[in-house]
Amino acid sequence: MSKLNIVTIVGARPQFIKAAAVSRAVASHNNGTPAAPIVEKIVHTGQHYDENMSQVFFDQLDIPRPHLNLDIGSGTHGAQTGRTLEAIERVLLDDRPDWCLVYGDTNSTLAGALAAAKLHVPVAHVEAGLRSFNRLMPEEVNRVLTDHVSDLLFCPTDAAVTNLADEGIARGVCRVGDVMYDCALHYAAKAEAIEDEVLATLGLRPKGFFLATVHRAENTDDPERLRGIFAAFEQIATPQRPVVLPLHPRTRNRLEQEGLDAPDHVRCVEPVPYLEMVCLEKNAAVILTDSGGVQKEAYFYRVPCVTLRDETEWVETTRNGCNRLAGAEPARIVEAVAAAEGAQPEWLPMYGGGAASDEIIAMLLNTHKATCADGEGM
């Protein structure tokens, strides 16, 4: 079998974390099987570019340096996706990889999937099949379109497999578990080693604070929702139990435009690196978030979660009261936090066994082997 060439497309914070797990599985395959290596070229679209939204993850998680940064930057959906599509097409034309690997549901994901599909480069989608059933979300449009042009669809959950089946997609669907859970296990000891220091630096006690993140367009770009969420933070934050809010740059910009200051005892900090975030998540009394990744991590670390959205793709987290959907209305959020604190939910294992990345690599290799065998037979 010839070597397997993969072009991996990443561009936004959660994709760096997911790619860390899969790139580690690539390295582990190459160490064990040097005669049939996987050659992975990581292409960073440049969608996220601040040091604390990008480089810090490559450094801390030992992600191989990207072969290329397309430096696309920010823009409207059409402009950002269009520029990325054009730039990725050039890379794929030069490289002609066996697979184009895309992650999640960002504009970088869609651009990568579309560029590859049009060039007949097979597309593998990690985190396939997630649905919010809300087409107003840019991510939902990106997910649906990406899944429909993908050849291998790596699903983290049973619900994701069902969603794809409901859309008539069964071929190439593999339920592998969640690559973010692989990361949670792999980096657990490293996070634990810095936990005391992270809490001490911020003057926090274990379970003595709320952790919040907000960045979804539906919240940041709707002043009423943004004000509602901040009003809820104001009501729950006390000197004994502050709200710690690592601020996404999108949200920081919106707060400035709205002239919204952080209420008392709401501690806005810069986005934190992954290991620091894990420490904060594990030690929070309750996590309040509109992030997909943070909802899941709350579940991994068995911390009650209140989701600042009207629906979630991670439906299984809500079943046992581990995660509560609270939208953006202050009274509902405050009530959900109180309910979350009083509950003793059952945390069932739902995201695989921590080897999703190895399964993804094994599947890509098997498919490649079959393709090579077909080629030889012709």
SS3 letters across the chain:
CCCEEEEEEECCHHHHHHHHHHHHHHHHHHHHCCCCCEEEEEEECCCCCCHHHCHHHHHHCCCCCCCEECCCCCCCHHHHHHHHHHHHHHHHHHHCCCEEEEECCCHHHHHHHHHHHHCCCCEEEECCCCCCCCCCCHHHHHHHHHHHCCCEEEECCHHHHHHHHHCCCCCCEEECCCHHHHHHHHCHHHHHHHHHHHHHHCCCCCCCCEEEECCCHHHHCCHHHHHHHHHHHHHHCCCCCCEEEECCHHHHHHHHHHCCCCCCCEEEECCCCHHHHHHHHHHCCEEEECCHHHHHHHHHCCCCEEECCCCCCCHHHHCCCCEEECCCCHHHHHHHHHHHHHCCCCCCCCCCCCCHHHHHHHHHHHHHHHHHHHHHHC
Pick the stretch among 159-167, 220-228, 292-300, 354-362 that binds ligand UDP (CB under 6 A).
Answer: 292-300
Catalytic residues: 215
State which residue, 4 or 61, has the beta carbon closest to ligand UDP: 61
State which residue, 78 or 168, has the beta carbon closest to ligand UD1: 78
Q: Which of 66, 97, 292, 330 binds ligand UDP (CB under 6 A)?
A: 292
Q: Which of 187, 233, 274, 351 binds ligand UDP (CB under 6 A)?
A: 274
Binding mask 328-367 for ligand UD1 (x = CB under 6 A): ----------------------------------------
User: 42 to 81, contacts with ligand UDP by CB under 6 A?
Assistant: none
State which residue, 215 or 368, has the beta carbon closest to ligand UDP: 215
Binding mask 197-236 for ligand UDP (x = CB under 6 A): ----------------x-x---------------------
Q: Which of 17, 43, 126, 284 binds ligand UDP (CB under 6 A)?
A: 17
Binding mask 231-260 for ligand UD1 (x = CB under 6 A): ------------------xx--x-------
Binding mask 73-112 for ligand UD1 (x = CB under 6 A): -x------------------------------xxx-----
156 part of the interface to ligand UDP, by CB under 6 A? no
- How many residues contact ligand UD1, by CB under 6 A? 18
Contact residues for ligand UDP, defined by CB under 6 A = 13-14, 17, 213, 215, 246, 271-274, 277, 291-294, 297
